[in-house]
A and B are shown apart, each in its own frame.
Chain A
């Protein structure tokens, strides 16, 4: 993977932003002290005359100084690249884009040249005029950029050079403007809130309302995250469907991406692999998880329970990469050597069965702890009634408890299924990469998540359908898991209400 394009300007930004943040926080601290001093002053040294404790006056000044300024910094950093990108890409005429290339590629060249200019300017202490003069010798510029760590495939086009210079200047002026405006906002907040301080000023109420607003803002982060997920999936999926017909994506039975265009990007082989692996995983996890939950909640002594339950829950705390490695180095070779090859069913160590089994192990604690809760929620009266009629323990479990707990257990299985469908590392390392529609569980198949990873890692170019398809796949995954979750939570909640 080449060095990320925005690396160097990221460095610059971070350095001055770190300083800026320190200044803002320093101002806020100063504001706090000023607030307390001023409040005591206004009270004539007798703090009993203040409506609020002096600390609240300080706190309100602190909040008014820091928070708006920090919000300005955050919003500015998010929007600046977008604005600059739009302005600079306007400078590149249609005719400047070489044959077989795209505006995106030219823009990434622009960014890299700008980074290189930054590096050269920092190394050699150049003025703006000297940098502008470099435009006269574009051949020499290429080698100088190469020395600065930015290797280019060809000489810099004049228009690209101009665009890079503008890009660089706009970035620099943008940063300066940001620093100035953020500090001004902080100072304005400080002066405004400090000037409001009177003995009867309700500083506690003001600062408490302010804090409450911050709380509300924080609780919106979750909503914003969901919004961000949906927006990024939908926007890029729409891009994808403009380049590749949605009909083929949803109904084609072949998955065969080609880097030179003409790919088949049908979702069915991936969907089949996903469902097959998840099915195998559930086939293993549900009986094991459910039976151990039943044993633990109905039969096991307290001592056994206190040892076994945490032991099973350790499985839930192990990161999925560990399961992935387990599939890759232990389970895969074992299944290949003892089942696939003797039976003549396959020669690959990554297979549906490998990924399914390991994923099943991962899901055991999930199924068992959920079922445990649900079985424990069945009222004791039902057990007593069954015992009273002379049923044995197992008959009680099978004919009374399980039917009563069934909706909850179905919910738990659906939740486990949603986990299985969204699981990535185990299938990346255990299931293989071949998109196939086959019934043989010892053959390598691939899943939606594997293909999202493989299409989005490595050298990605954002204009091609082969990359963008990952977003459409992500959307399908999101819809599937969300749907399963909503149904499962509905079922579980409905069932819980029955016995409450």
Chain B
């Protein structure tokens, strides 16, 4: 209208030719659309960069460098008394096994006729991971018949050698690195040519326990996956019944009064409380007050339960609300009690929605890190927890916390491990979310 005042005389000319003002307005329109497209482009690009960066860094963690060679498990070293007594076998430490491995590798190098100038014997020793000796020892103790035989073994190579094959370590960086020498890398090259050193799928990454700061090549996610699984069991067992019970009460039975309002406000506010505050709650109540052990999956599970409860209650209430009132009326009309109506009709019909909500809540809990840091899950844990229920009280790690743990270590090899752990985490989340979507597609009914 103001424009009409500003332009008292309508312009004359063809309607088919745009005048200056129309062009301006159309340009503004186009620009505005472009802003929207750019915004979406930025969002999608962020997603793509995020995923490619994690995948690019982490995929290599699933392949690991191994040295394959025949190892003579010399009875004179491993079983001096020759009686295969387990107590005596245990007296041989990893140092003894380490010597065997070094001897075998030296022999292989000689047989292949590889000559690297200035190669010290300690260089050969450092080609093999310190963890390899322990692994061979465990294998021999588990199967003493191996002693005296010559077995083809695939032993872990040192983390730096692994890094060289993956492009993380180069000749230039090796010159500055006290943990690896250029000679070792030359030796590696000739061994790779002969197929003695090579990469293969790294099962240990998924099954082994965490390893110390100096042995990134041996670090695995076994304890973390188990710990996360234990926590998810606790969360599922506690939050699903409690959440469903609370939602049924609020949706079907609760009178409209101040108490109910208080509970509802409470739940919606709890959903917005920062997760780290739940960690403080866990530390103060479960660990300091109730005396539960630190680092235990039971405490993590309890904290995550309290955290996911609001999510589960909110989705469950939505699912219950979506069941049409006519179903309840019909059940009540033929004489069912309120409770029978709920258990025989409303709940079964709402079940797909409830399960979807529960899975999404679990997925959220699985990725949660901050509260677990406060209840001691950052501790370095090498021992697998026992089977539940006792195992729930054993110290364990958790997947997301393991990622955090590895990023805090100095060796860049752990960055690869951390990204690999993220991939494992994302795969779990993907599976859970796909299950939720399928469940919804398959069973959800619209009235």
Contacts and interface: CB of A to CB of B under 8 A. Distances in A.
Given A212-B249, A329-B57, A392-B29, A453 B269 contact: no
B268 A295 contact: no
Given A215-B249, A489-B268, A311 B29 contact: no
B392 interface: yes
Interface stretch (A242-250, A265-273, A420-428): A420-428
A321 B266 contact: no
Contacts of B46: 315, 361, 364
Interface in A210-254: 211-212, 214-223, 225-226, 228-229, 232-233, 235-236
B221 to A, nearest CB: 14
Interface in B229-274: 241-243, 245-246, 248-250, 253-254, 262-263, 266-270, 272-274
Interface residues of B, number: 99
Given A322-B422, A477-B276, A486-B269, A394 B246 contact: no
B246 A218 contact: yes
A158 interface: no
B309 A312 contact: no
B78 to A, nearest CB: 27
B43 A226 contact: no
Contacts of B250: 219
Interface in A1-52: 1, 3-4, 6-7, 10-11, 13-15, 17-18, 21
A81 interface: yes
Nearest to A78: B290
Interface string B85-101: 00000000000000000
Interface stretch (A186-194, A256-264, A285-293): A285-293
A223 B275 contact: no
B39 A287 contact: yes
Nearest to B433: A317
A398 B400 CA distance: 43
B390 A15 contact: yes
A306 to B, nearest CB: 13
A215 B248 contact: yes
B246 A221 contact: yes
Contacts of A219: 245-246, 249-250, 254, 263
A449 interface: yes
B246 A319 contact: no
Interface residues of A, number: 105
A325 B418 contact: yes
B285 to A, nearest CB: 5
Interface in B280-313: 280-281, 283-285, 288-296, 306, 309-310, 313
| Chain B contact residues: helix, strand, loop or mixed | helix
A292 B57 contact: no
B47 interface: yes
Contacts of B376: 1, 4, 457
Contact of B281 (A18, A225, A449, A452): A225
B419 A418 contact: no
Contacts of A229: 273, 277-278, 280-281
B197 interface: no
Contacts of B273: 229, 422, 478, 481-482
Contacts of B47: 311-312, 314-315
A212 B339 contact: yes
Nearest to B22: A392
B49 A291 contact: no
A288 B42 contact: yes
Interface in A443-495: 449, 452-453, 456-457, 462, 470-471, 474, 477-478, 481-482, 485-486, 489
A136 interface: no
Contacts of B203: none
B148 to A, nearest CB: 35
Nearest to B307: A225
B370 A424 contact: yes
Nearest to A220: B263
B367 interface: yes
Interface in A286-315: 287-292, 294-296, 298-299, 308, 311-312, 314-315
A40 B75 CA distance: 73
Contacts of A456: 279-280, 283, 373-374
A203 B423 CA distance: 53
Interface in A400-446: 415, 418-419, 421-425, 428-429
B246 A423 contact: no
Nearest to A429: B407
A368 B43 contact: yes
Given A4-B395, A292-B43, A212 B253 contact: yes
Given A10-B393, A315-B47, A318-B429, 13 more contacts: A1-B376, A10-B293, A215-B253, A222-B266, A223-B263, A319-B425, A320-B369, A324-B369, A364-B43, A365-B43, A457-B376, A471-B284, A474-B280
27 contacts: A1-B379, A4-B294, A18-B390, A21-B389, A85-B291, A212-B339, A215-B246, A219-B246, A223-B262, A225-B270, A229-B277, A289-B43, A317-B429, A319-B400, A319-B429, A322-B54, A323-B50, A325-B407, A392-B28, A393-B32, A422-B275, A424-B275, A429-B407, A456-B373, A471-B280, A474-B277, A477-B277
